[in-house]
Structure 1
Amino acid sequence: MPPVAAPSAALTAVAPAPTRLWTPKRVLVTRSAAERPYGQYVLGRLEQAGVEDVELLQGDRLPNLRGDGDRAAFMLAKNTMALVVPPASLRRLQPIAPSADWRFDLAQGCPAHCSYCYLAGSLSGPPITRVYADLDEALTGLDAYVGRGSVTSGTAERGGEGTTFEASCYTDPLALEHLTGGLARAITRFGTAEWSGPVQLRATTKFDDVASLLDLPHGGRTRLRFSVNAASVARRFEAATSPVPGRLAALGAVAAAGYPVGVTIAPIMPVDGWQQEYGDLLDAIAAVLPPGTDLTVECITHRFTPGSKATLTEWYPRSRLEMDEGQRTTKRGKFGAVKHVYPKETMAELRGWFQDAVAARLPGAHLLYWT
């Protein structure tokens, strides 16, 4: 399958100045990671970024970062990046419905401080950010998965997306890009490699540093999506992220560079005046997009589990995020997992409004799913 030429619109794309760049206070590098070519590349970028505390470990085990469960230990972990080689089991890809056929991890962990963080219920141990040094080998192994998915590839509804690989299931790759260059590496591979069928790389972010991505030979095979929310929700619950206006400016820039793009509106909350706030958000999205933009919309309502509530309450004890089981409906997965979602009536009202509002304010968009 020959690469697709990048649209000429890339010549006019202008990146916004980044509003937030994360600098880890400490970087731990395992022996095997330091031996990999990509690991050495990341070490060079860390030096260029002025990261001073970089510790090369003698083996492949990270030191104990759990501490005593106090606030200081949590903050130390959140400010630590580890460059590691993941276990082989991680490279046996798993489906990630409803987003994509396959979960493809560039990293695990995120430097942001969203007080509803979904990773709190998904990952165990101290919340350090692990960057995977086997990226080059992992990228070359993806062709074996082409045409084998069930979320997009081969489906009537989303088959046009090809075989999809989600790169932001357990991380925000753009939050790390100035340190790792991993997202650019993946985008270039997807855009220029010979694949056995149609493919698409997918990545979601709450950051806005897209300058290094605009001139890449993406070939239209990467969909960059920006996670956005109502102004009051973002202001109260999305600390240490780029402001929503910055994310929208970045959305407009990558769309002008010819990328397929998307917005992930999440987590949707029925705050006071939510129709006005989310209506303003949809209007702001429409205002930054060039005519003819290939745009998708994903809508995800707020939910939590008993485990995520316990972790988030420990991480962010002063947060005023509503996690009252008495105001929610309990859903159980097929293996008995408990999830607390909004009541049926609230969900129906939200869904009906968003379906109508997206169709009216973003008429060219494709609403992928509601959950």
Structure 2
Amino acid sequence: MTTDLLDIRRIYVEPEAAALPRGKEVLARFPDAQRVEVESHLRIPELYGDEANVARWVRIKREALVLGVKKSLTARPNGRSADFIAPSTANGCAMACAYCYVPRRKGYSNPVTVFANIDRIAGYVQRHVGRQGVKPAPNECDPVAWVYDIGENSDCSLDARISDNVRDLVETFRWLPTAKASFATKHVNRDLLSWDPQGRTRIRFSLMPQRDAKLLDIRTSPIAERIAAIDDFVAAGYEVHVNFSPVVVRDGWLADWAELLDQLDAGVDAATKDQLAAEVIFLTHNEKLHEVNLGWHPKAEEVLWRPDLQQLKRSQSGQWNVRYRTGDKGRHVAALTDLIAARTPYLRVRYAF
């Protein structure tokens, strides 16, 4: 299978994953790919932690695939975008957004890893939903349903080009009346339009001004294409929100966001506007990711790494993150949410930070 994003030539595979039905399906999709047996999808020295891979950042994403088994199944409480983070069916990505946090965990490369034990993952999710019962009160995630993010560490629209894992989860949630799936995406995959989610899956199309996307959203679907797809996904039975993330502060940023909001307003119909909501997330960047980016895309760091605008904060994992300075950030958030209210008054902001 060859697309603009994927030309899989080498598959690193755990023997246990290769023996499972989903693993066999994935291997069959790429019959010409070299297979490299690995003990663990987490320990592949030639992919992870090798500084020389910075020079091959995009090539590895395009040509390498990892097939493994998800060992630990947990649903972590979240509370902002979703009530829970579901156990992932994949991680990594063939796209190369300069601000993505996944490389911080994986080292110098993060091609897609597909987990073959989808039956165990879907079964765990069903049991977890059953234990929650009926949602007792509305919250910012959803007024009625428990929301499960199924794509925290990958882009589900792209994952669906590699395996049927995402489709299996969308179909699982179709029959769970107290819960819904959710994922953010920067990739338009119209194959999803035939899946009949019956309102039980929320897709959040990530949007930013085209000027930012051209520099930062590498190998993603164009912003205009994402907006043009929204009505079709609503008509196909998805709940569709927009994810304004990350918001990057630079010269002219607010004027460019005004232009994007006008583009969104003109690009969606009344049925979409009636159900549309947004989440707004300002940039948080990371010192180690900054160092990685300097090796393959230094131009992006001119807007992502701004010591004149940002302050350091140590993360729970001990790494140094940067975010816009306290006080200044509050004014930036207010300016953008005021702009949203003025340009797209129907667009409910679920949260902004």
Q: What interval of TM-score do these two structures reach, taking the shorter chain for normalisation?
A: 0.7 to 0.9
Residues 1:205 and 2:196 are matched in the alignment: no
* Equivalent in the alignment of 2:46: 65
Residues 1:296 and 2:280 are matched in the alignment: no
Residues 1:287 and 2:269 are matched in the alignment: no
In structure 1, C-alpha distance between the alignment counterparts of 2:320 and 2:225, rounded to whole Å = 35
In structure 2, C-alpha distance between the alignment counterparts of 1:202 and 1:153, rounded to whole Å = 20
Tell me the TM-score normalised to structure 2 length: 0.86
Q: Secondary structure at the match of 1:141?
A: helix
* Equivalent in the alignment of 2:168: 185
Q: Secondary structure at the match of 2:284?
A: coil
Q: Is the 8 A contact 1:296 1:366 kept in 2?
A: yes
* Equivalent in the alignment of 2:146: 163
Could you tell me which of 309, 318, 331 is aligned with 1:327? 309
Could you tell me which of 249, 252, 272 is aligned with 2:231? 252
Residues 1:312 and 2:293 are matched in the alignment: yes
Could you tell me which of 112, 119, 129 is aligned with 1:136? 119
Residue 147 (structure 1) shift:
7.1
Q: Is the 8 A contact 1:22 1:176 kept in 2?
A: no
Q: Is the 8 A contact 1:22 1:175 kept in 2?
A: no
Residue 153 (structure 1) shift:
6.9
In structure 2, C-alpha distance between the alignment counterparts of 1:227 and 1:263, rounded to whole Å = 6
Q: How does 1:266-281 map to 2 (within 5 A)?
A: 266-281=245-260
RMSD value over aligned CA atoms? Answer: 2.7
In structure 2, C-alpha distance between the alignment counterparts of 1:68 and 1:260, rounded to whole Å = 41
Residue 361 (structure 1) shift:
3.0
User: How many residues get paired?
Assistant: 341
Q: Which amino acid in 1 is paired with 2:184?
A: T
Residue 162 (structure 1) shift:
1.4
Residue 177 (structure 1) shift:
1.6
In structure 1, C-alpha distance between the alignment counterparts of 2:251 and 2:92, rounded to whole Å = 31
Residue 327 (structure 1) shift:
2.7
Q: Which moved more, 1:100-109 or 1:314-323?
A: 314-323
CA gap of 1:336–1:178, structure 2 versus 1, over 3 A, is closer
CA gap of 1:228–1:156, structure 2 versus 1, over 3 A, is closer
In structure 1, C-alpha distance between the alignment counterparts of 2:83 and 2:38, rounded to whole Å = 37
Q: Secondary structure at the match of 1:297?
A: strand
* Equivalent in the alignment of 1:340: 322
In structure 1, C-alpha distance between the alignment counterparts of 2:8 and 2:79, rounded to whole Å = 32
Tell me the TM-score normalised to structure 1 length: 0.82
Determine what percentage of the aligned residue pairs are the same residue. 25
Q: How does 1:206-245 map to 2 (within 5 A)?
A: 206-210=186-190, 212-245=191-224
* Equivalent in the alignment of 2:90: 107
Residue 124 (structure 1) shift:
4.1
Q: Which amino acid in 2 is paired with 1:198?
A: T
* Equivalent in the alignment of 1:3: none
Q: Is the 8 A contact 1:165 1:201 kept in 2?
A: yes
Q: Which amino acid in 2 is paired with 1:45?
A: R
Q: Is the 8 A contact 2:149 2:183 kept in 1?
A: yes
Residue 41 (structure 1) shift:
2.4
Structure 2's unaligned 5+ residue stretches are none
Structure 1's unaligned 5+ residue stretches are 1-18
Q: Secondary structure at the match of 1:239?
A: coil
CA gap of 1:284–1:116, structure 2 versus 1, over 3 A, is same
In structure 2, C-alpha distance between the alignment counterparts of 1:110 and 1:335, rounded to whole Å = 22
In structure 1, C-alpha distance between the alignment counterparts of 2:33 and 2:316, rounded to whole Å = 45
In structure 2, C-alpha distance between the alignment counterparts of 1:277 and 1:73, rounded to whole Å = 32
Deviation string, structure 1 residues 139-170 (Cα, Å, up to 9, x no partner): 12112322777xx8745444425111112211
